[in-house]
Every structure is written in C-alpha cells, then in structure tokens.
Amino acid sequence: MVQALLQARKLIESTVNLHRRTVARHAVVTMKGNDAAVANAVEALVDRARHGISIALPAGGDRAEVMVSALRRLNGPDHERIPVRLLCTPASLTDPAIRAAMESDVNTQVKVVDAVMEMLIVDGGVAMVRSSAERGGGDVVSVIEDTASVRALDLLFAGAWSGAVRPAEHRWISERLRTESARRILERLCKGYTDDVAAREVEVSLRTYRRHVAEIMRALGANSRFQAGVRAVELGLLSTADC
C-alpha cells in the first residue's frame, strides 16, 4: 500500500505537469511559490468552500501558517461547521500553526501519516498542489479545476487519510514501538521474514518473538504480519528504505 501511494503521488505530479501543457488555460493556474500570491489563492479557495476542505501538510512553518490562517475564515456565518480534514506528518504535527488548528473552533479533524504531498482540496471540485518545477528547481503551485485531475487528487488524499491515525493514537504507538527491539522486529515483518529466521536475527526465542509480534500487531491494528510492517511505514516508524 505504501509503495502504491508513493507511485500515485508521482503519477499525480506527472499529471499536474502534463495538464500545465495540455489543459485549457482556465482549468489550471500555475504560479511560482510566491508567498503573497499563494496566500491570496488559498484564501480565495477557502472562501469558496461550502461542503468540505481537505488539506495535506508535509511540513510546518510558513506554509502551514498560510493554510491555517485561511481556515480562520470559516468561523463566519457563511461557512459555519464546514468540515475540514487536515493530514499532517509526524514532523509537522508539533508545528504551532497545526497545533492551533487542532485547538480552534473550526470543525477540524486531524490525522497523522508518514508522507503526504502538499495539497488543498475544496468541495472535491478545485485543488491547489505544490510540486517540483520541471526546470530551474524550486516549487510550483498550481490551482486546478480540471475535474479528472481534482478527482485523482481527492482519491490520493482519501487513500492517505484511511491509513492515517489520530494524533493521540500516533503518540501512543510511537511511545510503545520506537524501542530498538520493536524496530528490529518491524523491519523483519516489513521484509516478510519467517518467524524462525527473524527470531534468530533478533536473538530471542521463537516463542518470545511471536509474543512481541502479537503485541505489535495489536498496537498497530494489523491483521497480518505484512500489514504490520506496512502500517509501520505509514506511521513513520520505518522508512521505505527499511523494507
């Protein structure tokens, strides 16, 4: 699943780049990562919201502040109780702006996942994404109204959201599974090792290894050993390189 999401992200970036060249001009508006222009575009999109907003933030800092500041506009009567889904990473979870969003009066749900592509989706009909420029380096921000492209982004977000967990659950899992012994077991689960081989490598008895595996699977809500390894990557306990 993790590899599928990473491949989907690359596909989305390729699609965005393709649409910059081939879709009618009104469907995609592209700008360099100019802070003021991006902030104005975010506010304009949030103002259009009537049904729901989805935001993915891989990092904190100024980018998170721009998104969260725009969400404060939802406190007005025209946007009352519009649901917001905010997807962040372990690195951005502690950012002051994201913490403020979690504590605000806006109807916001927050979840944590290991990696996301920065995006804003409004009512499933318009999106803003930040991607790498094809030439010259740096970032490019695109506002997309092409139906197929926005739908693809919406599906990408939904897939990441379904695999993410609440902040409190993420903290609990991290505290429990960030030990060196848990990490070594997770790596072997992710790689598909048999219990016999894995137990020898981590230097415990087969019975003890299986007991640890059962505890890890319960903590991750996994139904299989492989799923436990995948969940560990999704939650940032392992990197894709570890698998």
Is pLDDT at 22 greater than 60 in this prediction?
no
Is pLDDT at 25 greater than 50 in this prediction?
no
Task: State residue 80's pLDDT score.
Answer: 65
SS3 21: helix
Q: Are strands 119-122 and 53-57 parallel, antiparallel or unpaired?
A: antiparallel
Question: Taking the CA atoms of the chain, what radius of gyration do you get in angstroms?
Answer: 20
Q: Residue holding tokens 């304009």?
A: 44
| String of DSSP letters for 44-63 | HHHHH-SS-EEEEES--THH
CA dist 59 and 93 (Å) reads 8
Task: State residue 233's pLDDT score.
Answer: 84
In this prediction, residue 4 has a pLDDT band, given cuts at 50, 70 and 90, of: very low
Q: What is the mean pLDDT of residues 96-101?
A: 86
Task: State residue 14's pLDDT score.
Answer: 55
Phi-psi region of 217 (alpha: psi -120 to 50; beta: other; left: phi over 0): alpha
- Which residue ranges form the domains of the chain, and what is each CATH number? 2-164 (3.30.870.10), 168-242 (1.10.10.10)
Is pLDDT at 239 greater than 90 in this prediction?
no
Q: What percent of the chain has pLDDT over 70?
A: 80
Q: Rounded to the nearest 5°, which phi and psi values hold at 148?
A: -65, -40
Give residue-wise pLDDT tens across range 40-85: 889 999 988 989 999 999 888 888 888 888 888 776 666 567 899 9
Task: State residue 105's pLDDT score.
Answer: 65
Is pLDDT at 140 greater than 90 in this prediction?
no
Q: Find all residues with CB under 8 Å of 124, minimum gap 6, and list them.
A: 51, 52, 150, 151, 154
DSSP H helices, the chain, are: 2-22, 35-48, 62-71, 90-93, 96-103, 147-163, 167-177, 180-191, 195-202, 206-220, 225-234
What's the token pair of residue 233?
């990557």
If one counts every other C-beta atom within 10 angstroms of the C-beta of residue 47, the result is: 14
Task: State residue 36's pLDDT score.
Answer: 82
Task: State residue 71's pLDDT score.
Answer: 84
Is pLDDT at 112 greater than 50 in this prediction?
yes
CA-based nearest residue to 127, from 151, 96, 94, 159: 151
CA dist 219 and 173 (Å) reads 6
Give residue-wise pLDDT tens across range 152-201: 999 999 988 988 889 888 888 888 888 888 989 999 998 889 999 999 99
Is pLDDT at 11 greater than 90 in this prediction?
no
pTM: 0.73
